[in-house]
Structure 1
Amino acid sequence: MSTLQHASQAAGAGRSAQQLLAWSRDQVEPALRAAVGSMPLATQRITNYHFGWEDEEGAPANADGGKALRPALVLLASQAVGGTAEAAVPAAVAVELVHNFSLLHDDVMDCDLTRRHRATAWSVFGLGPAILAGDALLSLAFDVLVDSGNSRADEAARMLGAAVQELVDGQLSDSHFETRDDVVLSECVRMAQLKTGALLGCSTALGALFGGGRTEQVDHLRLYGEDLGLAYQYVDDLLGIWGDPKVTGKPVHSDLRRRKKSLPAIAALTSETEAGRELAVLYHRKNELSDDELARAADLIEATGAREQSQLQADALLTDSLGELASARALEPAAGELEQLARLATRRDR
């Protein structure tokens, strides 16, 4: 049984984590498809492929469209403050559009050839078209919020805009790290907070906003999402090194192949251990690393204790996240379901 299945069967009443993600997709996908369907046809072709709705030739497809974690957080946050999932669907669509804008650009920046077990959009349609499709999704996200009719739509748009600025700042830092040999762990953590934590925090804050939550509830649920986002990135970075390609949909040792300055890699490189120094020699090589060298790099990171340290940090952030959830005085069953999703995000295999 996979980690995903174990997490989805966590103790507690109500729907499992897998059921919650499936419910979120069912709630949000019709509105998401309608929003994307309002775009020009040339852009739709790329975005429909990226979302898994069409193949390279434009024929209908049913490929993996991702976990839909962020929309689920939006809908449950609305319910947690006494609102309805239906009221928060526009916010969930907006967040999913922004997330996929970032994925389209991220694949280009990282030169990734596969995502979700398929060729990336840029490798099929070209660099420029994929970048422009991402730009179109970003613009559409704000249209969806403004057109929602929610009385707090303007506040929501400003909140989403701030999160996008932080996300871009984090992406820029991540990009700059590639040309630096002096990156320290605190910088890497801050980058992850911006790159991943900001949008997850915005997801739960927007849900609480559309659900009519009080200001303090919106703030606590935002912090819940931000802590969860950083924990999520720790786990994502672990999967980028040790994840099973058959499950993750990415090549084995994908982050090491690019000498990516991920959280466990930086923790190892700055560990002042013999293993860390040997890893630095591999990371500073100009030529491409062989499969044996990539496996050795993964072993060296583990030897420094960085793999265990990263998982412990993810676990500690989960505890902090659940503390913020409790402070928000979230209503059941949404509170318990938000806890389930948090535990899933920090103990997963893809």
Structure 2
Amino acid sequence: MTATLPTEVTATQALVQPALRAAVGELRPPMRGIVSYHLGWTDEHGQARNGGGGKALRPALALLAAQAVRAGPEAALPGAVAVELVHNFSLLHDDVMDGDLERRHRPTVWRLFGTPAAILAGDALLTLAVDVLERAADPAATRCLTAAVQDLIAGQSQDVGFETRMDVGLDECLEMAAGKTAALMRCAAEVGALLGRASPVASGLLAEFGRCLGMAFQLVDDLLGIWGSPGVTGKPVLADLRVRKKSVPVVAALDSGTGPGAALRELYGRPDPPTEEELRTMAELIERSGALAWTRDRAQRYVVEARSCLDRLAPPEPIHAALSDLTRFVVERDR
């Protein structure tokens, strides 16, 4: 059964989408057209199409965080738009660095419009994000966003650096995930709290909730990168193994000290591209090493930590339920 987003999360789109479209409308052409394609609003010819740009978890998290501290969701709207713009900046650049040909079942921007256009579109979104948030006149929120961007860049840099190394440790891999994914989730929740005029204690609890949610999200992403269904994820089968990505389950297997882990290390160290049979063998070795079970368990532990933050915060019951359901979605999703 496919996990579904809580209705309180999907309901935030009614606020976020118009504000996001208004912000993107400030971009100059041709960046506006390229970004609109990337977000799923238009086709490659600029014609409007139905569809969106993904789950939009980060902006929903910002609005729910504001409501968790008993502010209106509108208070956090600049933060919600800003974190979604930063997220899409990172996706545009990630697709270039990873050489991904498809995103959300469509050609990636760099593949369709060229690498320079994709890089520039990402740059445009990053500067737009800071501009949008600065208009909220909350220096702490802006500092939170820019710090998250620095963490994100550091995490992505680590991820790229791992490609040429066979000595990546598990702690190092988790640190990379904390920067690449969890930092922006943490920022989304913290910015929502800050713009909702939360106390330092409440802001800290929501920030930690967001960090734990982001870590669980990345670990599930890593599992889907190996065992996810291509028809659902939009990525080739065994996608991360094809490029010998050092994701958390892979590194957990390599560091497991088991026979399957040693066999995986030998396969990962070969210079030639893996065959289809070798890819299936790699996935089996990761599972036999115990790394699949370990990664699932670690994701669940992050969820437990996130829910503990919620319990200590004691937000209004509907918001508590929505955020708790969001943690369940993150670990049960299939895309």
Q: TM-score range by the shorter chain?
A: over 0.9
Cα gap change, 1:108 to 1:233, in 2 (>3 Å): same
Amino acid at match of 1:162: A
Q: For 1:271 and 1:138, how far apart are their aligned partners in 2?
A: 39
Equivalence map 1:237-256=2 (5 Å): 237-256=222-241
Q: For 2:148 and 2:314, how far apart are their aligned partners in 1?
A: 24
Matched residue, 1:49: 37
Kindly indicate whether residue 134 of structure 2 is the aligned counterpart of residue 146 of structure 1. Answer: yes
User: Percent identity between the aligned chains?
Assistant: 51
Matched residue, 1:104: 92
* Residues 217 and 329, structure 1, Cα contact 8 Å, conserved in 2: no
Q: For 1:63 and 1:211, how far apart are their aligned partners in 2?
A: 30
Instruction: Normalising by structure 1, report the TM-score.
Output: 0.94
Matched residue, 1:200: 185
Equivalence map 1:59-98=2 (5 Å): 59-98=47-86
CA deviation after TM superposition for structure 1 residue 64, in Å: 4.1
Equivalence map 1:284-323=2 (5 Å): 284-323=269-308
Q: For 2:38 and 2:279, how far apart are their aligned partners in 1?
A: 29
Instruction: Normalising by structure 2, report the TM-score.
Output: 0.98
Matched residue, 1:326: 311
Q: For 2:325 and 2:229, how far apart are their aligned partners in 1?
A: 23
- Which residue, 144, 147, 164 being the options, matches 1:159? 144
* Residues 64 and 116, structure 1, Cα contact 8 Å, conserved in 2: no
Amino acid at match of 1:209: L
CA deviation after TM superposition for structure 1 residue 86, in Å: 1.4
Q: For 2:22 and 2:277, how far apart are their aligned partners in 1?
A: 47
Point out where structure 1 has 5 or more consecutive residues left out of the alignment: 9-16
* Residues 21 and 67, structure 1, Cα contact 8 Å, conserved in 2: no
Equivalence map 1:19-58=2 (5 Å): 19-58=7-46
Matched residue, 1:275: 260
- Which residue, 169, 185, 189 being the options, matches 1:184? 169
Number of residues of Structure 1 aligned to a counterpart in Structure 2? 335
CA deviation after TM superposition for structure 1 residue 77, in Å: 0.5
Amino acid at match of 2:238: H
* Residues 9 and 322, structure 2, Cα contact 8 Å, conserved in 1: no
Amino acid at match of 1:188: C
CA deviation after TM superposition for structure 1 residue 173, in Å: 0.5
Amino acid at match of 2:324: E
Kindly indicate whether residue 194 of structure 2 is the aligned counterpart of residue 209 of structure 1. Answer: yes
Matched residue, 2:245: 260
Matched residue, 1:228: 213
* Residues 80 and 332, structure 1, Cα contact 8 Å, conserved in 2: no
CA deviation after TM superposition for structure 1 residue 292, in Å: 1.6
Q: Deviations over 1:69-115 (max 9, x none)?
A: 11111111000001011111111000000000011111111111111
Q: For 1:285 and 1:21, how far apart are their aligned partners in 2?
A: 44
Point out where structure 2 has 5 or more consecutive residues left out of the alignment: none
CA deviation after TM superposition for structure 1 residue 62, in Å: 2.0
CA deviation after TM superposition for structure 1 residue 251, in Å: 1.1
Amino acid at match of 2:27: M
User: Which segment is superposed worse, 193-202 or 21-30?
Assistant: 21-30
Q: For 1:199 and 1:287, how far apart are their aligned partners in 2?
A: 36
